[in-house]
Amino acid sequence: MRRLHKLWASPWLFKALLGEALVRMGVLTVFRFLPVPGRAQRLTRGHPVSHPGHAAPSSQEICRALDVAARFLPGATCLVKAQAGSAMLNRFGYAAEIRIGVLKESSDLKAHAWLEYQGRVVLGESGNQYTELPKMKPASSGL
């Protein structure tokens, strides 16, 4: 009940961000199990918007909404959060980049994804325990 009261008392902007985060992460979570290549990529692209008279949310507000939404979505992995976060941050003009790393010194292969903006981690934990994978360019379609 306390959570509902806290949500109800939140500013409308946070409620809108939370709703967008829930929808994006929910759809991305479902799409990763469906054979629909390329369609989920539309959700990961955030088209810039401008709302005259309204201030854009800060990157911290957007990431907070994503963290809260992830608590309510089973299966919202770090990659799903990073994809949804990248789209939302890019939509508001923040050039966030998804980073993916693997766990060092482990017999098991464990991967993790996080978001960086201006060289700073804004969503997820990078930590020194992960070795970042190099960026890959999309494959050309002319095979």
Decide if 137 is inside a domain. Answer: no
| More confident call, 55 vs 82 | 82
Q: Is it the case that residue 61 has pLDDT exceeding 50?
A: yes
Burial readout 47-72 (b: 16 or more C-beta within 10 A, e: otherwise):
eeeeeeeeebbebeebbbbbebbbee
Decide if 24 is inside a domain. Answer: yes
- CA distances from residue 69 to 52, 101, 106 in whole angstroms, order as listed: 27, 23, 31
**Count of domains in the chain?**
1
Decide if 111 is inside a domain. Answer: yes
3-class SS of residue 102? strand
| More confident call, 80 vs 140 | 80
Q: What's the domain range around 99?
A: 2-49+57-132
**Report for 90-94, 106-110, 123-127: range of highest mean pLDDT:** 90-94
* Residue 105 falls in which region: left (phi positive, over 0), alpha (psi -120 to 50) or beta: left
> How confident is the model at residue 73, as a pLDDT?
87
User: In the predicted model, what is the mean pLDDT of residues 77-106?
Assistant: 87
Q: Is it the case that residue 43 has pLDDT exceeding 60?
A: no
Which helix (DSSP H) or strand (DSSP E) does residue 14 occupy?
Answer: helix 12-31
8 A C-beta contact, residue 128 and residue 93: no
Decide if 64 is inside a domain. Answer: yes
Decide if 140 is inside a domain. Answer: no
Decide if 138 is inside a domain. Answer: no
Band (pLDDT 50/70/90 cuts) for residue 143 is very low
> How confident is the model at residue 140, as a pLDDT?
54
3-class SS of residue 100? strand
Decide if 91 is inside a domain. Answer: yes
Band (pLDDT 50/70/90 cuts) for residue 65 is very high
Decide if 143 is inside a domain. Answer: no
